[in-house]
Amino acid sequence: MPVTNPPLVCWNCHERAQGTHFCPSCGKLQQAAGTTDFFALFGMPRKLWIEMNALEQRFLQLSWKLHPDNFVNATETERELSLKRSSELNDAYRVLRDPVARVEYLLGLEKMRKEGEHKQQAPPELLEEVFELNESLDELREAKSSGSDLAALKSRLEAAEKSFGENLGEVDAQLQEAARTWDAGIDANADDAARKKIMARLNELLNRRSYIRNLVVNVAKELGEV
């Protein structure tokens, strides 16, 4: 299970203020406890299904409470904390409202994915298609530089773009299914081994999605320049 942070003590009155944005004793704005947990920031469990309206409402409430305008006449410490906590809140909202970024962030929290990790390795079942695509891209670039007819190559690449787009949709569906499995495991208090197995599957799907998405983007770019 995730490691909990040590008790947070209020910088102003030195009373315990764990898990709160404001000290329950003196009301002062608090620092985040250790590394900011975006889920905890919104008072949510580390689950991958999030009700978007609830997330937005919580974001708006916290934005108003933490906004620097509310601390114009406060101490310098509180003004600095307001800027920092508002920035953290914006980052957290941007990540949690995006399903893919949410999975990447969760795996990072659980130490199952390094920041910026995107293994560029073609899925085995797509090796032949990827090889043919790269050949077509090379031919297209050569044809553009030599002024040759591009119609047949363009048609071939448009078909490849559609095919890989469909593959991307399939991976997204598998990612959603794995996310549901993760949430079910959290509800069932799954053991560490079971949780790691699910996270390994999520990580694999993220890498696959990243690879295929880059293919789609590259093809679209080349076609856009024809």
Within this chain, do residues 149 and 81 fall inside the same structural domain, yes or no?
Answer: no
- The residue among 50 and 29 whose pLDDT is bigger is 50
Q: pLDDT value at position 4? A: 47
Q: Are 8 and 17 in contact (CB under 8 A)?
A: yes
The arithmetic mean of pLDDT across residues 86-114, rounded, is 93
Within this chain, do residues 92 and 168 fall inside the same structural domain, yes or no?
Answer: no
125 token code pair: 């079942």
Residue 18's pLDDT band, with cuts at 50, 70 and 90, is low
Three-state DSSP class for residue 132: helix
Q: Is the pLDDT of residue 119 over 70?
A: no
Q: pLDDT value at position 75? A: 87
Q: pLDDT value at position 3? A: 42
* Residue 110 resides in a domain: no
Within this chain, do residues 154 and 210 fall inside the same structural domain, yes or no?
Answer: yes
The arithmetic mean of pLDDT across residues 57-73, rounded, is 91
Q: Where are the alpha helices (DSSP H) in the chain?
A: 38-41, 52-66, 76-96, 99-109, 127-146, 151-187, 192-224
Within this chain, do residues 79 and 134 fall inside the same structural domain, yes or no?
Answer: no
Within this chain, do residues 88 and 179 fall inside the same structural domain, yes or no?
Answer: no
* Residue 147 resides in a domain: yes
* Residue 142 resides in a domain: yes
Within this chain, do residues 65 and 142 fall inside the same structural domain, yes or no?
Answer: no
Within this chain, do residues 131 and 74 fall inside the same structural domain, yes or no?
Answer: no
* Residue 201 resides in a domain: yes
Within this chain, do residues 57 and 128 fall inside the same structural domain, yes or no?
Answer: no
Residue 2's pLDDT band, with cuts at 50, 70 and 90, is very low
Residue-number span of the structural domain to which 49 is assigned: 1-97
* Residue 84 resides in a domain: yes
Q: pLDDT value at position 1? A: 42
* Residue 9 resides in a domain: yes
Residue pLDDT, tens place only, 151-194: 888 888 899 889 999 999 999 999 999 999 999 999 999 999 99
Within this chain, do residues 93 and 130 fall inside the same structural domain, yes or no?
Answer: no
How many structural domains does the chain have? Answer: 2
* Residue 112 resides in a domain: no
When the pLDDT of each residue in the chain is averaged and rounded to a whole number, the result is 86
pTM above 0.85, yes or no: no
